[in-house]
Amino acid sequence: MVKASILSHGVGRRKSSVARVWLRRGKGEILVNGDDYQQYFDTEYARKVVLAPLKQLDIEKKFDVAVNVVGGGIVGQAGAVRLGIARALLESDESLRSALKKLGYLSVDSRKKERKKYGQKAARRKFQFVKR
């Protein structure tokens, strides 16, 4: 990808996934880590999550999207890509802010896995209590 063709850039995070997204004018091609997004994301849910900001604004055929995503699982990566695409769209056109905010694509889902505590079996699960 040539630097001059880059329109905007956005970073999205979800759980332990980080997605770096680059937008440029094109015909709707989405590449995730060098593969087509339909091959990379194997579930229909993940594909819908990735396409959501573009489809809702009816601009999926106007931009080519290049994504580099690392960490986490498929659902977390899809959420990170969605946030990255929304932020890149916002950088390219500030007038989309109200629509993206109304649809909830600019809000960060900050939920993380709770850590395991010592003296317990898991984050909240305790060892079985023995009375006698």
pLDDT of residue 2: 47
pLDDT of 126 higher than 80: yes
CA gap 11, 20 in Å, rounded: 5
Tell me if 28 is assigned to some domain: yes
Tell me if 115 is assigned to some domain: no
Tell me if 48 is assigned to some domain: yes
Tell me if 72 is assigned to some domain: yes
Q: Does the reported pTM lie above 0.95?
A: no
Tell me if 84 is assigned to some domain: yes
Tell me if 26 is assigned to some domain: yes
pLDDT of residue 124: 97
Phi (first) and psi of residue 107, to 5 degrees? -85, 135
Tell me if 129 is assigned to some domain: no
User: Which residue in 73, 82, 75 sits closest to 104, CA to CA?
Assistant: 82
pLDDT of residue 98: 95
CA gap 23, 8 in Å, rounded: 5
Q: Give the structural domain span for 15.
A: 3-103
* Total domains present in the chain: 1
Find all residues with CB under 8 Å of 58, minimum gap 6, and list them: none
What is the tally of helices (H) and strands (E) in the chain?
4, 5
CA geometry: angle at 68 spanning 67 and 73, to 5°? 105
